[in-house]
Amino acid sequence: MNKASSHESPTVSNRNAYIASFACVVPPFSADQAFSAALVRKHYASKLNARSQGLIRATFSHPGIRKRHFAVDDPACIMDESPDQKIARFTEKSVELAGQAVTRALDQAGVSVQDVTGLVVNTCTGYICPGISTYLIERLGLPRNTRVYDLVGSGCGGAIPNLQVAESLLKANGGVVVSVAVEICSSVFQMDNDLSLILSNALFGDGAAAAVLMTGPAGFELVASAGRYVPEQRDAIRFVHKQGELHNQLSTKLPDLVNKAAAGVVADLLSTQGLHTADIRHWAFHTGGEKIINAVRDEIGVPEEQLRATRTILSEYGNMSSPTVWFVLEELLRNGISAGEWCVMVAYGAGLSAHACLLRKT
Tell me the β-bridge partners of 32.
67
In terms of domains, do 357 and 225 share one? yes
Inter-CA distances, 358 with 103, 146, 305, Å = 25, 27, 20
Last residue in a domain, options 214, 248, 283: 214
Residue 63 in domain: no
Residue 168 in domain: yes
Strand ranges for the chain from DSSP E: 17-25, 30-32, 67-69, 116-123, 147-152, 176-184, 206-214, 220-229, 237-242, 245-250, 282-285, 342-349, 353-361
In terms of domains, do 156 and 236 share one? no
Residue 330 in domain: yes
Three-class secondary structure of residue 275 per DSSP: coil
**Number of domains the chain contains:** 2
- Domain hosting 155: range is 14-28+70-214
Residue 138: burial class (beta carbons within 10 Å; 0-12, 13-18, 19+): exposed
What pLDDT is recorded for position 26?
98
Rg (CA), the chain: 20
In terms of domains, do 234 and 168 share one? no
Find out whether 53 and 192 touch, Cβ atoms under 8 Å: no
Find out whether 35 and 341 touch, Cβ atoms under 8 Å: no
- The span from the CA of 220 to the CA of 21, in Å, is 8
Residue 81 in domain: yes
Find out whether 296 and 316 touch, Cβ atoms under 8 Å: no
pLDDT tens digits, 334-354: 999 999 999 999 999 999 999
> What single-letter amino acid sits at 120?
V
Last residue in a domain, options 197, 214, 231: 214
In terms of domains, do 203 and 245 share one? no
Provide the CATH number for the domain around residue 291: 3.40.47.10
Residue 65 in domain: no
What pLDDT is recorded for position 244?
82
Residue 328 in domain: yes
Query: pTM (2 decimals)?
Result: 0.94
> What single-letter amino acid sits at 44?
Y
What pLDDT is recorded for position 76?
87
Residue 171 in domain: yes
In terms of domains, do 164 and 117 share one? yes
In terms of domains, do 303 and 235 share one? yes
DSSP collapsed to 3 states, 301-330: CCCHHHHHHHHHHHHHHCECCCCHHHHHHH
Inter-CA distances, 141 with 18, 37, 112, 123, 146, Å = 24, 41, 10, 21, 11
In terms of domains, do 225 and 275 share one? yes
- The span from the CA of 9 to the CA of 22, in Å, is 25
What pLDDT is recorded for position 3?
39
- Please report, in tens digits, the pLDDT of each residue of the chain (362 residues total): 333 433 343 345 567 899 999 999 999 999 999 999 999 999 998 999 999 999 999 999 999 999 999 999 888 889 989 999 999 999 999 999 999 999 999 999 999 999 999 999 999 999 999 999 999 999 999 999 999 999 999 999 999 999 999 999 999 999 999 999 999 999 999 999 999 999 999 999 999 999 999 998 999 999 999 999 999 999 999 999 888 888 898 889 999 999 999 999 999 999 999 999 999 999 999 999 999 999 999 999 999 999 999 999 999 999 999 999 999 999 999 999 999 999 999 999 999 999 999 999 99
- The span from the CA of 116 to the CA of 176, in Å, is 5
Find out whether 198 and 53 touch, Cβ atoms under 8 Å: no
Nearest partner of 29 among 67, 66, 65, judged by Cα: 67
In terms of domains, do 200 and 256 share one? no
In terms of domains, do 162 and 227 share one? no
Last residue in a domain, options 214, 229, 247: 214
What pLDDT is recorded for position 12?
53
- The span from the CA of 344 to the CA of 265, in Å, is 11
Residue 93 in domain: yes
In terms of domains, do 154 and 252 share one? no
- The span from the CA of 328 to the CA of 324, in Å, is 7
In terms of domains, do 196 and 102 share one? yes
323 φ, ψ to 5°? Answer: -70, -15
Nearest partner of 256 among 276, 236, 272, judged by Cα: 236
Find out whether 198 and 52 touch, Cβ atoms under 8 Å: yes
pLDDT tens digits, 287-337: 999 999 999 999 999 999 999 999 999 999 999 999 999 999 999 999 999
What pLDDT is recorded for position 124?
97
In terms of domains, do 84 and 194 share one? yes
For residue 316, the Cα-to-chain-centroid distance in whole angstroms is: 15
Indicate if the alpha-carbon torsion angle 186, 187, 190, 195 is positive or negative.
negative
**What is the 8-class DSSP label of residue 280?**
-
